[in-house]
């Protein structure tokens, strides 16, 4: 074996250097934890910068360009400014919980990074239930909102928290159902396993409906436009975190950005093949680069979406979820499960590790199945839209007639009866 | 490795604290929380015995999973009943709900 | 006794979470605090599941208990808000309840410790070195839908959940609207 100490054989190196095996293992673990937790913290600085840059470009502005090269240090300056701001705790607030909420907010997002497979070799913890872990940690996010909204001693914060939780709980349903598809296809819940299973073909092409559902549900889960009702900066100032100021508010903000990025990261892992790319088997570290690249594409797409689409109303948000996404997700699970069984019976299911050619028949069948789902969904939507339009036109016509009638019988004049 | 009896003792403690909560608290929601604690104590026991006694069988984990199901159903129904009672009688104190008593 | 390693430390921390959280649940005046203590306690139980190499149950514990049940309880507490600050949180039989709880604990502990006392006890023999081979999530999933396994209870459980969902909606719905 090689004698060069690197990240891959740190534990063995430490043991050879005179540490006890237990201590060496512990140190390696701690080092890994610190490393994995630091990556998102550094990332968030660039996230805010790129968010502002993209939004500015879409709106034909320049965006931050004064501090540092192309404005890169703007976020650092903002963070410094936030540190110097007064740290206000409202009267009657539950102090301990009030201060705890931003910590929970940040911790839940960073915890998700523990199961991210950066390269074929480097992963924080390859737990067998990676997908479920992602969902479980994401569901702790509702706690932070509840806690922040309640402890602020402000009824608007509490109302905002209620609305946000209703949104998050509702969109967890299509999120889980859409995650079932990659799990069924890969036959494992481990994120490393799901990534490896995509060597031949990305799940984005095998299950586009699931990818769409996952993306939309994640937009809502992370509170990004067009589902950013919890923040809605042009209508209400903020939701559950309205009483927060200074650095605690900054932690909420940063955790939201980071959550959106993490969601993009998981999209890239689960549907876009994670670290797969040319020569990744020979040079594993290239995988991290591919993963970041794919994540960046997904994330920037979300930014452009944010800058272009208007915000939905709360009733539209709920209707979209329960009347469209959830039925679509259930139908999708049924169809894909059926197709997988059919493919298995026909012997068209590619063996693990097969190349792209072996994956083609399965991909074609799956794509056709997805197209059928999309077509049916579109038809249902169209009929519904037509019905709604007709109902609205009838309403308008009725109102028109009433107005005409009122004009003919002037106010004050006795109405003959 | 931690011996099994430690898990069992902690589970026993959790169960008894839950029992105390169920018996002594006045608020119905707090009583429900006590029930959740007791169910969790049972779950620790189930998983603990599964792990140490026959880790190659699925029974222990399956039973624990069913307890999750029951707990979820119980919480949903229990809280619905509490809210319904609160709406009708403006109270969630368990002792106040005594219409069936004479 | 116990050797000092990562899992022992985790065990001690999780035990503190579980028992401390549980004591908080039954003694706190403020029900929102009680719910947060409950979350702490349930989180500790999830940690136990990880230590007992049942990661699937740990994730489900967090997902179901913390993500759903705890939030439901918080909602219930807030909807019945005028009752959250009661002057009396314990009823008349609290002393009796405490005695019952302590007595039960004593009984259980004796029941747990007695068989392991000395060497050759029932638990002691099998316990000191549990097997490293454990079923994984795939086995669990297969058992749940296996004809010779738990498919009937599984279906009954899903029926129970559906019934509970409908029942909760019917009970909690405001008929005055």
- pLDDT tens-digit series, residues A139-150: 888 888 888 888
Share of chain B above pLDDT 70, in %: 98
What residues contact residue C21 under an 8 Å CB cut-off, 6+ apart?
C37, C38, C39, C40, C41, C42, C43, C44
**With 80 as the cut, is the pLDDT of residue A6 above it?**
no
Chain B residue with CA closest to C20: the answer is B14
What residues are paired with A333 via a beta bridge?
A: none
Contact A86, A246 (CB under 8 A): yes
Tens of pLDDT, residue by residue over A293-315, are 999 999 999 888 888 888 888 88
The range of the structural domain enclosing residue C100 comes to 96-125
C13 inside domain = yes
Cross-chain residue pair C105–B13, CB shorter than 8 Å: yes
Cross-chain residue pair C67–A150, CB shorter than 8 Å: no
Over residues B64-73, the mean pLDDT reads: 91
pLDDT for the residue C2: 58
C102 inside domain = yes
- A86 versus A389: the higher-pLDDT residue is A389
Report residue C125's pLDDT band, with 50, 70 and 90 as the boundaries: very low
Mean pLDDT lowest among A118-127, A333-342, B37-46, C165-174: A118-127
Share of chain B above pLDDT 90, in %: 36
Share of chain C above pLDDT 90, in %: 25
CA distance A87 to A80: 14
**With 90 as the cut, is the pLDDT of residue B37 above it?**
yes
Total residues belonging to chain B:
102
Share of chain A above pLDDT 90, in %: 17
Contact A160, A230 (CB under 8 A): yes
Mean pLDDT lowest among A86-90, B32-36, B86-90, C116-120: C116-120
Contact C134, C53 (CB under 8 A): yes
**Quick one: C108 and C148 in the same domain?**
no
Residue from C1, C3, C13, C69 to probe the interface with B (highest B Cβ count within 10 Å): C69
**Quick one: C134 and C109 in the same domain?**
no
DSSP tag of A252? H
- B97 versus A60: the higher-pLDDT residue is A60
Contact C50, C7 (CB under 8 A): no
What total of structural domains would you count in chain C? 3
Cross-chain residue pair C59–A129, CB shorter than 8 Å: yes
C-alpha atoms less than 13 angstroms from C-alpha of A25 in its C-beta half-sphere: 6
pLDDT for the residue C83: 53
C91 inside domain = no
Contact A265, A295 (CB under 8 A): yes
Q: Which residues of A touch C138 (CB under 8 A)?
A: 188
pLDDT for the residue A11: 65
What residues contact residue B102 under an 8 Å CB cut-off, 6+ apart?
none
Contact A70, A78 (CB under 8 A): no
**Quick one: C60 and C18 in the same domain?**
yes
Tens of pLDDT, residue by residue over A399-416, are 888 888 777 765 555 554
What residues are paired with B93 via a beta bridge?
A: B27
- B47 versus C79: the higher-pLDDT residue is B47
Q: Model pTM?
A: 0.87
Mean per-residue pLDDT of chain C: 82
Minimum-distance CB partner of C71 among A22, A135, A146: A146
CA distance C25 to C86: 15
Mean per-residue pLDDT of chain A: 84
DSSP tag of C117? S
pLDDT for the residue C41: 94
| Terminal C-alpha separation, chain A | 104
CA distance A139 to C67: 5
Q: Mapping DSSP to helix (H, G, I), strand (E, B) and coil, where does residue C127 land?
A: helix
**Quick one: C17 and C79 in the same domain?**
yes
**Quick one: C10 and C65 in the same domain?**
yes
Cα–Cα nearest to C56, from A183, A171, A117, A330 = A183
Contact C142, C136 (CB under 8 A): no
Tens of pLDDT, residue by residue over C57-96, are 999 999 888 888 888 888 888 887 765 556 666 777 888 8
Place of tokens 């514990």: C61
Cross-chain residue pair A129–C137, CB shorter than 8 Å: yes
Task: Give domain limits for chain A.
Answer: 1-84, 90-401
**Chains contacting C with at least 3 CB pairs below 8 Å?**
A, B
Cross-chain residue pair B84–C51, CB shorter than 8 Å: no
Q: Which residues of C touch A133 (CB under 8 A)?
A: 55, 59
pLDDT for the residue A330: 93
Cα–Cα nearest to B47, from B39, B55, B37 = B55
C72 touches B: beta carbon within 8 Å: yes
Q: Which residues of C touch B83 (CB under 8 A)?
A: 76, 79-80, 172
C113 touches B: beta carbon within 8 Å: yes
Cross-chain residue pair A136–C62, CB shorter than 8 Å: yes
C1 touches B: beta carbon within 8 Å: no
B93 touches C: beta carbon within 8 Å: yes
**Quick one: C111 and C142 in the same domain?**
no
Cα–Cα nearest to C47, from A101, B44, A138, B49 = B44
Minimum-distance CB partner of B27 among C86, C97, C160: C86
Query: How close B45 comes to chain C (CA, Å)?
Result: 10
Tens of pLDDT, residue by residue over A30-50, are 888 888 888 888 888 888 888
Tokens of A105: 């907010």
CA distance A173 to C67: 12
CA distance B9 to B28: 28
CA distance C151 to A174: 25
- At A245, which helix (H) or strand (E)? none
**Quick one: C119 and C151 in the same domain?**
no
**Quick one: C68 and C101 in the same domain?**
no
What's the CATH number where C8 sits?
A: 1.20.120.1200
CA distance A297 to A307: 16
**Quick one: C65 and C100 in the same domain?**
no
Minimum-distance CB partner of C108 among B6, B12, B37: B12
Cα–Cα nearest to C131, from B48, B7, B52 = B52
pLDDT for the residue C126: 47
Measured from the Cβ of residue B76, the count of other Cβ atoms closer than 10 Å reads 21
**Quick one: C36 and C67 in the same domain?**
yes
**Quick one: C119 and C170 in the same domain?**
no
- Surface of B (26-45) touching C: CB under 8 A: 26-27, 29-30, 32-34, 36-37, 40, 43-44
**Quick one: C137 and C56 in the same domain?**
no
Q: Mapping DSSP to helix (H, G, I), strand (E, B) and coil, where does residue A313 land?
A: coil
pLDDT for the residue A1: 38
Chain A residue with CA closest to C55: the answer is A129
Tens of pLDDT, residue by residue over A273-291, are 888 888 887 888 888 888 8
């Amino acid at each position: 074996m090689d004698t060069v100490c690197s990240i891959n054989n740190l534990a063995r190196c430490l043991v050879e250097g005179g540490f006890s095996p237990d201590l060496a293992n512990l140190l390696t673990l701690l080092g890994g934890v610190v490393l994995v937790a630091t990556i998102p913290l550094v990332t968030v600085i660039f996230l805010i910068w790129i968010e502002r840059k993209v939004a500015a470009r879409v709106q034909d502005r320049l965006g931050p360009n004064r501090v540092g090269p192309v404005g890169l240090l703007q976020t650092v300056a903002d963070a410094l400014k936030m540190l110097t701001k007064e740290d206000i705790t409202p009267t009657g607030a539950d102090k301990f919980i009030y201060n705890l909420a931003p910590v929970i907010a940040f911790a839940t997002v960073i915890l998700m990074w523990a199961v991210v497979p950066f390269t074929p070799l480097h992963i924080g913890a390859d737990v067998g239930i990676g997908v479920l872990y992602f969902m479980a940690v994401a569901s702790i996010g509702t706690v932070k909102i509840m806690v922040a909204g309640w402890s602020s001693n402000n009824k608007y914060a509490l109302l905002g928290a209620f609305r946000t939780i209703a949104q998050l709980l509702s969109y967890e349903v299509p999120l889980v159902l859409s995650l079932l598809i990659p799990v069924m296809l890969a036959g494992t819940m481990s994120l490393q396993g799901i990534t490896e299973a995509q060597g031949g073909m990305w799940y984005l092409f095998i299950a586009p409906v699931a990818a769409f559902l996952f993306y939309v549900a994640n937009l809502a889960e992370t509170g990004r436009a067009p589902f950013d009702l919890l923040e809605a900066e042009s209508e209400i100032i903020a939701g559950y975190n309205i009483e927060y100021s200074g650095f605690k508010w900054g932690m909420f903000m940063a955790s939201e950005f980071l959550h959106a990025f993490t969601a993009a990261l998981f999209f890239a892992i689960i549907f876009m093949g994670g670290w797969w790319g040319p020569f990744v088997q020979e040079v594993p570290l290239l995988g991290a680069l591919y993963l970041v690249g794919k994540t960046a594409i997904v994330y920037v797409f979300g930014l452009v979406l944010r800058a272009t689409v208007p915000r939905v109303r709360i009733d539209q948000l709920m209707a979209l979820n329960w009347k469209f996404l959830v039925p679509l997700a259930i139908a999708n699970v049924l169809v894909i499960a059926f197709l997988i069984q059919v493919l298995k019976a026909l012997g068209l299911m590619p063996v693990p590790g097969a190349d792209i050619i072996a994956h083609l028949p399965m991909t074609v069948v799956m794509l056709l199945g997805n197209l059928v789902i999309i077509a049916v969904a579109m038809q249902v939507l169209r009929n519904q839209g037509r019905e709604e339009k007709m109902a609205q036109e009838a309403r308008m016509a009725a109102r028109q007639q009433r107005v005409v009638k009122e004009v003919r019988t002037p106010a004050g004049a006795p109405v003959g009866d | 490795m931690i011996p099994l009896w430690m898990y069992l003792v902690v589970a026993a403690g959790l169960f008894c604290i839950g029992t105390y909560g169920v018996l002594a608290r006045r608020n119905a929601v707090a009583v429900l929380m006590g029930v959740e604690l007791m169910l969790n104590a049972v779950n620790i026991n189930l998983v603990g015995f599964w792990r140490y006694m026959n880790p190659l069988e699925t029974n222990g984990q399956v039973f624990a999973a069913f307890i999750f199901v029951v707990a979820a159903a119980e919480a949903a129904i229990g809280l619905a009943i509490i809210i319904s009672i609160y709406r009708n009688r403006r109270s969630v104190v368990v002792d106040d709900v005594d219409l069936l008593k004479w | 006794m116990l050797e000092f390693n990562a899992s022992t430390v985790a065990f001690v921390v999780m035990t503190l979470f579980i028992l401390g959280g549980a004591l908080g649940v039954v003694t706190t005046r403020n029900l929102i605090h009680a719910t947060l203590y409950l979350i702490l306690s349930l989180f500790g139980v999830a940690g136990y599941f990880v230590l007992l190499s049942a990661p699937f149950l740990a994730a489900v514990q967090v997902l179901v208990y913390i993500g759903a049940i705890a939030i439901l309880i918080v909602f219930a507490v807030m909807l019945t808000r005028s009752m959250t600050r009661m002057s009396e949180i314990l009823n008349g039989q609290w002393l009796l309840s405490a005695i019952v709880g302590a007595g039960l604990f004593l009984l259980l502990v004796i029941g747990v410790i007695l068989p392991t006392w000395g060497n050759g006890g029932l638990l002691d023999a099998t316990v000191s070195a549990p097997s490293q081979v454990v079923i994984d999530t795939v086995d669990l999933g297969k058992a749940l839908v296996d004809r010779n396994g738990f498919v009937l209870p599984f279906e009954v459980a899903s029926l129970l959940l559906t019934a509970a969902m409908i029942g909760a909606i019917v009970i909690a719905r405001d008929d005055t609207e």
